[in-house]
Structure 1
Amino acid sequence: MKRTAPGGAALELLVHGVGGATPEKMLNDPRTVRITGDETAAVFRRAEDVAADSAPDPGDDRGRATPVPEAYVWSNLTSGNGTRALWLLLLPFMVVNLAHWMRPAAARERTRAVRFYGLLVRLAALSLTVLLVAAACEVALDLTAWQCAGTPACAERHSWLGFLSPTVSDGGWWSLPGRRLALAALVPTALVGLLWYLSHRTWRAYESQEPLDRTPEPENGPGHTALGRPGFWYGRRLVARLRAAHTAAGLLTVAAAVGTAAARQDRRPGGPALLDVLGRLLEASLFTGALVTAWVVCRRGRSERRLDRRLDAHLVHRLPSAALVLLALTLVYAGWDRPGWTSEGRLPGDATFGGLAIAQGALVIVLAIVARALHHCPQSTATPGERCALNGLGGPAVAMLACALGGVMSGGVSQRVSDWLDGTGTFLDGPPVLLTWQASVIPVLLVVLLVLCAVLGRQTLLLTRAEQDKVISEYGVAPGDPSRTRRIARARAIATLTDRAPLLVAVTSTATLLLGAGALVGAFGTGKTPVRAGETAQPFVHGAAQTVQALGSWLIGLGFILFVTWGRRAYKDASARRTIGILWDVGTFWPRAAHPFAPPCYAERAVPDLTWRMASWTRATGGRLVISGHSQGSVLAAAAAWQLKPSDRKRVALLTYGSPIERLYGRWFPAHFGPEALDALHQDIDCWRNLYRPTDPIGGPVRLSGDDCGPQVDREPLADPLAYGRTEAHPLPTPVLGHSDYQADPAFAEERELLLARLRPEVPVQRT
């Protein structure tokens, strides 16, 4: 039993959701004042409430404190700057980072298995960095500097390459193959430098925000979640170490692409002995650097049990610097004059891309085995059936999608650039065979997705028909307006598509795994591109091979254009900037634990902000508070409550509406938002009420048993729309609100008043 202590002030802290909101709208007052924070994220009050902490309510003759509303506005963390729309290009890095947090919940503490799971995801993330830098090397070094500049007909078609061509420039200084490669290596090197710069800048802005320092709680009881550890939202040291390792890996990849071509030439009979020795020494140094980089990635994961303020300065500074020195030495070595060296065929990249594809497939398979061994989906008393996405295989499936995205981007861009450089298809040998096969499977994958979408569309149509009878029964309007009934039923049916996301992920990841295996077999089994492999078959097969290869090339080009178009629109259109920002509200909630080049985690700023505000309020005033969160704001509110000390947590009541905390986070991140963790949070705080609608595609029930606040944490599903037709209370047609404007429902005011009443000092409430 526990009783709220009388006396003290009361606070209502509002947290908005995806898309953002203005403090004026959240506080329902045109005059607001920022009381703490900055332009990125801040807490606002109404102008009349600025000094409400110490002044008693003048209208209350007993001097009790009226709950003071505050609004925490964090929208600029995700959608405030138009340049952040360009972070869409970092999508594979973000997806593989999500796979780290999708670790299944283990039935008991299995530290070694959990660490091995994190290690596998970090290695998969490292392979993505190497893959995308290798693709940049393929485009700049192989296709442009080696093949096109070394072919007179291609160089003449592209005049900007004339100074690199031995024939067009009449043997100019840059026309030697090694010097061409050294110059072209500046392009992927600049890409690595850009990724390092973006990661370093966001690291200073996000990971350097210190959370509340406190003594860690015991982790032996049920319902333990890592979100309550003091250092969970402070990954500064790990991100710095991973940034150094991935930067070094990218630079070493560029050095290997240049150095192996020159070393292969020097190992030919009659080559200079000195250059041969230097080439072997450089290759040994590059191999040693690769081993050190892998060791740094494997060495250690996150430090969450305490605030780890130290930095591995010797790694953060020396590892990228050493890789940069090796790259410079390699460029000098490659630029040496080698008589008789001409650029013929392709650079040795087939084995590189094939090895990466095999390594990624093996990592995903081992990750699935570990995830299945860890899998334990606990069932709460109010949770019917299995609520863990893909039976614990969500992480491996998402990791497979990240690798597939990297492969599609690499193969598609390489094939598109090759088609652009080689207009007639007769000048160049093109990209490595495997990349061409990977670009060719894109149309097949799209066909699979279209079939799946057609199946889901048919199911949604059938569900819409079934929901029409329920709508008529609930509103009691038989027969009703058919179009109005159909509109409400369709909104309910479309909202259920969120619950079918596991099917979409499972089919897509399985299809990409099988198609990737088929591309490997086709590339290494035939040793030819799909078109040339089809030449020996029937004319129909050859035509189909030509079609899928051309479609794959054009589709990836179209996708890149769409990315750039959305990014340019976000510079000028505030609504577009806000819409694109919503994509990151879900994908970038989690810290960068696997890939340092992923978009930054806004929660590493928002959660400490909320925790500091709540803790400072309760300690300064001795009062209690309601934290009210909509959509993603409810997830931030719960994460902040976990970060409080137990004594402060007991003074907090939680109101959530349109919340994905169980529907999305509980299913896809069971180790952190599983039923046991949510139930433990419910027991620790004073009270929790949750509102949702059947037409909401994001929010849903939390499925927890109740307490003295009510028999269940979830209120009965809210009616949406509020009225079927015109009524005395609603003389105008009411819209279907879905995920927005929960405050328009009278139930919201009732639940809010119930929680605020518990904060009043003259109403002590008992709770079991």
Structure 2
Amino acid sequence: PYQNPGAPALGRPGFWYGRRIVARLRAAHTAAGLLTVAAAVAVPVARRDAAAGTAVLESAGWALEALLVAGAAAVAWVVCRRGRTEARADHRLDRAATTLLPGAALALLTAVLVYACWSRPGWTSSGRLPGDFAFGLLMLGQGCCIVALAAVARSLYRRAPDPATALRGLGGPAVAVLACALGGVMSGGVAGRFADWLGDEAPAEPPVLLAWQAAVLPPVLLALACLAVLHAARAARTRRRIAAGVAAEYPGSVPDGDRSRRIAGARTAAALTDSAPRFAAALSGITLVLGAGALAGAWLTGQVPGEAAHGAHPLLEAAARAAQDAGSWLVGLGFLLFVTWGRRAYRDPAARRTVGVLWDVGTFWPRAAHPFAPPCYAERAVPDLTWRMTAWTGRTGGRLVISGHSQGSVLAAAAVWQLPPHVRHRVALLTYGSPLRRLYGRWFPAYFGSGPLLSLHRDVDCWRNLWRATDPIGGPVVPEAGPAVDRGPLPDPVAYGRTEQQPLPAPVLGHFDYQDDPAFAAERDALLARLSGPRPLPDDRCGADGAPPGAAPAAASGTGAGAGLPAPRLSRERAEPGDPPGTAG
């Protein structure tokens, strides 16, 4: 990659070369998990041995606790000292961190299990499972981190405000709240089922905090249902308003109420994407408040909700017990629904497409935060695409058209940012159904905000983007440049009723099949014609129709096939002297 310290964030040399740091972080997280289990087993046993006064077992307990503290310090040192760098590609091997650390943690866990299984006559388990204070401390720490993250995000937004940014810079903290809540719910469900399993042999109950977390789940779901009803009512009004003017957009068409409502419904459903930030803000705010209430209730009362409400008003006591019981069952039901939805993705194409969209977005970013996440496919696709573009333009002296649909447009932009400037000027972009600005720019403004995308538009030879109002994912990418980049919204369907060109009712295509739209063929032919002419001057930008003159005998197209959204596949073809314009690629 081009060594340019002033390049955009995605153009930094080490951005897509983080596999070594992922290996180190994976080892550190694995060791931390093993040490956590070891500590949960060793600490209660060591406290009992210290109280019993057994010299040998007490000494072994103190030694194991000391080793656990040393292991925790080693994990913290690896995470903090050997972090991620984007200034250079990370090719350093670190076998001490990747091999010795998890191996030592596993050996320590084995020693702890042997120590805990040692015979202790007269010692039986009773009461609640340990970890109530640890769960509360973890939840409090997560809340404090989220508040600090919100303060930092708000400060960064004030320095460089962008109206298109989701929740005025608070999108990251809002998602973090929901992620922590989901993790807490899943942990509570596992602990509850484990307590039930242990209860067959000895009385055991989950920690109090987990019971409070389960009790606040029904109110959260009720608030979620109210938000869904509110958005549905608003969408119904919007659909009726749009349907009244759909026929007028197709001159000479005979109005058809059913056809207009179907088109208006597609546009309304696509527009719901733009309301996702408000939905996430409301849900995360409710979750944060109720989560704080659950933590306070658990620490102040020391009892589960049903017991804490004992003696209060009968309705309040009944509501607390009902919320606790319903939340416990909802946790298990939610896990089953999660597994069922995953299985459905293998049988239902629509569900598989939805899961594929989420999977492609989730696996685009490098695993800098969570090393157990699925592998980042962009760490393979972006460098490969970058090197192929650089090598081909250097060998042939030609220029390229990179065509990318949906997630493929994101990969194409990321690869172009990694190019040296002299190669970047020889590349033209044709994107369609692109989430670059609508989704990525809104949630990741530092990487795909208005500034980076406008800079990319100025750096490449030409950029044309197609979008539809019925597309829930794609949209304009550089609205500041006007029609010089974005062409849309394209008519969808292409015809309102039956015509000689469309003897059957044209379908609503939404996010897919842009290649079937006449506008795609027109823009593609214009870009290829631009390539077939003399090379343009540096200030010769492509205009609204995408057809100013250009140069060079090469083109490349990128579509692709991921789990849901397409990823670029580079192909190239060189025009021979005497070929008609537009035959390259």
TM-score (norm 2): 0.88
Tell me which amino acid in the other structure corresponds to 1:216.
Answer: Q
Tell me which amino acid in the other structure corresponds to 2:417.
Answer: W
Moved over 6 A (4+): 572-575
Q: Please state how far the C-alpha of 1:525 moved relative to its aligned partner.
A: 1.1
Gaps of 5+ in 2: 542-585
Question: Are residues 215 and 641 of structure 1, via their aligned partners in 2, closer, same or farther at CA, if it must alter by over 3 Å?
Answer: closer
With 408-417 and 715-724 compared, the bigger mean Cα shift is at 408-417
8 Å Cα contact 1:354/1:520 also seen in 2: yes
Partner of 1:522: 297
Q: Please state how far the C-alpha of 1:311 moved relative to its aligned partner.
A: 2.1
- CA distance in 2: counterparts of 1:538 and 1:575, whole angstroms: 49
- CA distance in 1: counterparts of 2:509 and 2:74, whole angstroms: 55
8 Å Cα contact 1:413/1:553 also seen in 2: no
Pairs aligned (count): 540
Partner of 2:182: 405
8 Å Cα contact 1:225/1:673 also seen in 2: no
Residue from 272, 280, 295 that aligns with 1:497? 272
Partner of 2:477: 702
Residue from 504, 513, 518 that aligns with 1:732? 504
Q: Please state how far the C-alpha of 1:714 moved relative to its aligned partner.
A: 0.6
8 Å Cα contact 1:495/1:698 also seen in 2: yes
Query: Helix, strand or coil: the match of 2:437?
Result: coil
Q: Please state how far the C-alpha of 1:462 moved relative to its aligned partner.
A: 1.3
Q: Does 1:713 align with 2:485?
A: yes
Partner of 1:564: 339
8 Å Cα contact 2:404/2:430 also seen in 1: yes
Partner of 2:386: 611
Gaps of 5+ in 1: 1-213, 380-384
- CA distance in 1: counterparts of 2:494 and 2:347, whole angstroms: 37
Partner of 1:121: none
Q: Please state how far the C-alpha of 1:421 moved relative to its aligned partner.
A: 6.2
8 Å Cα contact 2:21/2:90 also seen in 1: no
Q: Residues 21-46 of structure 1, C-alpha deviation per residue, up to 9 Å, x if partnerless?
A: xxxxxxxxxxxxxxxxxxxxxxxxxx
Q: Does 1:538 align with 2:319?
A: no
- CA distance in 1: counterparts of 2:45 and 2:279, whole angstroms: 46
Q: Please state how far the C-alpha of 1:656 moved relative to its aligned partner.
A: 0.6
8 Å Cα contact 2:215/2:327 also seen in 1: yes
Partner of 2:517: 745
- CA distance in 2: counterparts of 1:331 and 1:422, whole angstroms: 21
Q: Residues 50-108 of structure 1, C-alpha deviation per residue, up to 9 Å, x if partnerless?
A: xxxxxxxxxxxxxxxxxxxxxxxxxxxxxxxxxxxxxxxxxxxxxxxxxxxxxxxxxxx
Tell me which amino acid in the other structure corresponds to 1:754.
Answer: A
For 1:203-602, list aligned pairs within 5 A: 214-219=1-6, 224-268=7-51, 270-376=52-158, 386-419=163-196, 428-476=203-251, 480-569=255-344, 577=352, 579-602=354-377
- CA distance in 1: counterparts of 2:23 and 2:337, whole angstroms: 32
For 1:76-225, list aligned pairs within 5 A: 214-219=1-6, 224-225=7-8
8 Å Cα contact 1:705/1:713 also seen in 2: no
Q: Please state how far the C-alpha of 1:712 moved relative to its aligned partner.
A: 2.4
Q: Please state how far the C-alpha of 1:679 moved relative to its aligned partner.
A: 1.0
Residue from 729, 752, 757 that aligns with 2:529? 757
TM-score (norm 1): 0.67
Question: Are residues 262 and 427 of structure 1, via their aligned partners in 2, closer, same or farther at CA, if it must alter by over 3 Å?
Answer: closer
Partner of 1:105: none
Supply the RMSD in Å over aligned alpha carbons. Answer: 2.2
Partner of 2:544: none
Question: Are residues 660 and 360 of structure 1, via their aligned partners in 2, closer, same or farther at CA, if it must alter by over 3 Å?
Answer: same
Question: Are residues 643 and 371 of structure 1, via their aligned partners in 2, closer, same or farther at CA, if it must alter by over 3 Å?
Answer: same
Q: Please state how far the C-alpha of 1:420 moved relative to its aligned partner.
A: 6.3
8 Å Cα contact 2:463/2:485 also seen in 1: yes
8 Å Cα contact 2:400/2:428 also seen in 1: yes
- CA distance in 1: counterparts of 2:262 and 2:48, whole angstroms: 70
- CA distance in 1: counterparts of 2:535 and 2:172, whole angstroms: 47
Tell me which amino acid in the other structure corresponds to 2:30.
Answer: T
Question: Are residues 302 and 744 of structure 1, via their aligned partners in 2, closer, same or farther at CA, if it must alter by over 3 Å?
Answer: same
Q: Residues 96-155 of structure 1, C-alpha deviation per residue, up to 9 Å, x if partnerless?
A: xxxxxxxxxxxxxxxxxxxxxxxxxxxxxxxxxxxxxxxxxxxxxxxxxxxxxxxxxxxx
8 Å Cα contact 1:412/1:552 also seen in 2: no
8 Å Cα contact 2:253/2:497 also seen in 1: no
Query: Helix, strand or coil: the match of 1:628?
Result: strand
- CA distance in 2: counterparts of 1:373 and 1:450, whole angstroms: 33
Q: Residues 521-546 of structure 1, C-alpha deviation per residue, up to 9 Å, x if partnerless?
A: 11111111112222222222222222
- CA distance in 2: counterparts of 1:646 and 1:374, whole angstroms: 29
- CA distance in 2: counterparts of 1:755 and 1:675, whole angstroms: 24
Query: Helix, strand or coil: the match of 1:463?
Result: helix
- CA distance in 1: counterparts of 2:38 and 2:474, whole angstroms: 49
Query: Helix, strand or coil: the match of 1:402?
Result: helix
Query: Helix, strand or coil: the match of 1:627?
Result: strand
For 1:13-52, list aligned pairs within 5 A: none
- CA distance in 1: counterparts of 2:353 and 2:242, whole angstroms: 33
Question: Are residues 368 and 545 of structure 1, via their aligned partners in 2, closer, same or farther at CA, if it must alter by over 3 Å?
Answer: same
- CA distance in 1: counterparts of 2:77 and 2:479, whole angstroms: 44
Tell me which amino acid in the other structure corresponds to 1:229.
Answer: R
Partner of 2:573: none
Q: Please state how far the C-alpha of 1:281 moved relative to its aligned partner.
A: 2.3
Q: Does 1:767 align with 2:544?
A: no
Q: Residues 473-521 of structure 1, C-alpha deviation per residue, up to 9 Å, x if partnerless?
A: 3224687111111111111111111111111111121112111111111
Query: Helix, strand or coil: the match of 2:20?
Result: helix
Q: Percent identity?
A: 62
For 1:43-62, list aligned pairs within 5 A: none
Query: Helix, strand or coil: the match of 2:136?
Result: helix
